[in-house]
């Protein structure tokens, strides 16, 4: 993520003051980065994706616009918020789809071979929700480790990019990633 000609921090400050033009400029300026994050997020989800990259970017931007009290001080905060927002959108969608498969107000249907495909998709959504639950547990213990996971797993950032955004060394990011992965693995296997 090379530095842009227009300082993002300045635009974020203008947006925080309610300047809509600054918000539009942020979106235009960061659109390629947001698409990359969304694409990485959807690639991780793989099965049963309910969003396309563009739709996920636009939905996350709408949530950003609606978060009127949100104050993002700089580039680091913006991208951390973007990763978390995209994660929440996909998780909310998975929960909605899983709820619909579990009944969602419809009449009960007998299980037969025609439903096997939808069960496979439901398993994918259920595992996505299990990862989200484990990540929430990690966030309760150590928010900085959860942020590393969001940036790496959900947003597709490399260790170098995370190091730059969090102002840490790559080695520190690597250690935190390994620690977080170990916690998540243990939680998911429990």
DSSP string, 15-74: HHTT-HHHHHHHHHHHHHHHHHHHHHHHHHH-TT----HHHHHHHHHHHHHH-TT----S
Residue 3 lies in a domain: no
Q: Cα 6 to chain center, whole Å?
A: 25
pLDDT of residue 174: 94
CB 150 within 8 A of CB 181: no
Residue 2 lies in a domain: no
Residue 35 lies in a domain: yes
Q: How confident is the model at residue 128 (pLDDT cuts 50, 70, 90)?
A: confident
Q: Hey, is 126 helix, strand or coil?
A: helix
Residue 156 lies in a domain: yes
Residue 95 lies in a domain: yes
Residue 61 lies in a domain: yes
Residue 34 lies in a domain: yes
Q: Which domain holds residue 129?
A: 8-189
Q: Percentage of the chain surpassing pLDDT 70?
A: 77
Residue 156 has pLDDT above 80, yes or no: no
Number of independent structural domains in the chain: 1
Q: How confident is the model at residue 18 (pLDDT cuts 50, 70, 90)?
A: confident
Cβ atoms < 10 Å from Cβ of 25: 16
Residue 87 backbone class (left: φ over 0; alpha: ψ -120 to 50; beta: rest): alpha
pTM of the model: 0.60
In this structure, what are the phi and psi dihedrals at residue 111, rounded to the nearest 5 degrees? -75, 125
85 vs 48 pLDDT, higher one = 85
Residue 1 lies in a domain: no
């Amino acid at each position: 993520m090379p530095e842009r000609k227009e300082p993002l921090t300045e635009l974020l400050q203008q947006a925080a003051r309610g300047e809509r033009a600054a918000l539009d400029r942020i979106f235009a300026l960061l659109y390629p980065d947001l698409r990359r994050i969304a694409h990485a997020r959807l690639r991780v989800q793989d099965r049963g994706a309910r969003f396309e990259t563009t739709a996920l970017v636009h939905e996350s931007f709408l949530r950003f616009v609606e978060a009127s009290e949100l104050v993002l001080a700089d580039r680091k905060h913006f991208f951390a918020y973007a990763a978390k927002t995209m994660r929440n959108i996909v998780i909310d969608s998975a929960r909605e789809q899983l709820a619909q498969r579990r009944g969602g107000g419809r009449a009960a249907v007998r299980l037969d071979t025609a439903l096997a495909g939808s069960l496979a998709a439901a398993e994918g959504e259920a595992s996505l929700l299990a990862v989200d639950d484990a990540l929430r547990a990690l966030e309760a213990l150590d928010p900085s480790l959860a942020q590393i996971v969001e940036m790496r797993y959900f947003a597709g950032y490399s260790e170098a990019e995370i190091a730059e955004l969090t102002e840490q060394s790559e080695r520190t990011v690597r250690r935190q990633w390994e620690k977080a992965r170990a916690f998540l693995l243990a939680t998911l296997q429990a």
